[in-house]
Amino acid sequence: MRRIYLLLGLAVLISSSVAAQQPARKASGNSPAQSDLKPVYQRWLGEDVAYIITPEEKRAFLMLSSDDQREQFIDVFWRRRDTNPATRENEYRSEHYARIAYANQNFAFGDVAGWQTDRGRIYITHGKPDEIRKSTSGEVWLYRYAPGLGHNIEVEFVDVNGTGNYRLRLPNHP
């Protein structure tokens, strides 16, 4: 099985994670910063969809001027991702929130919520791995197929100092 470190995909995930965890700054013009939104919309942007919203979608959301527009945006956001629009339930949305709940329950470390950890981020964006192998330094998640990334993907997490704080191992890093 070939080892792919997912450089491009993981770099995007890491940069979006860092951006999601930093406070928004007010841009010039009339678009509000994320911190200017009601807490429910701050949470939606900064936690609920932090790993799946595109930069363009985020910019568009921040440009909206009313809560009604934001609610309509959120509705369209989920409908566009619905894997089976013929059903009442939005399977994509349900699966996404189930992944967040699983990550929070299983990958939290200290005061860090599970969705904010490296394992949580990968689990939320790619789902349950097909196999998990324990290694001397941590664990390796195997995905037979990950949409957008390819086949036979291995993602390695290192247990930092044996503390249970699993961090994504990037190429050229111990």
- How do residues 89-126 score in pLDDT, each as one tens digit? 999 999 999 999 999 999 999 999 999 999 999 999 99
* Alpha carbons 74 and 77: distance in angstroms, whole number: 5
Alpha-carbon distance values, 90 to 48, 49, 65, 95, 122 (Å): 15, 15, 26, 9, 22
Whether the pLDDT of residue 134 is over 50: the answer is: yes
What is the pLDDT, as a whole number, of residue 32? 64
Residue in the block written with tokens 């994504």: 168
Give, in degrees to the nearest 5, the angle at Cα 27 between 21 and 31: 100
What is the pLDDT, as a whole number, of residue 31? 54
* Alpha carbons 70 and 73: distance in angstroms, whole number: 5
60 or 12, which is more confident = 60
Give residue 91's Cα distance to chain centre: 17
Amino acid at 8: L
**Nearest 10 degrees: Cα torsion 35, 36, 41, 42:** 0
What is the pLDDT, as a whole number, of residue 1? 39
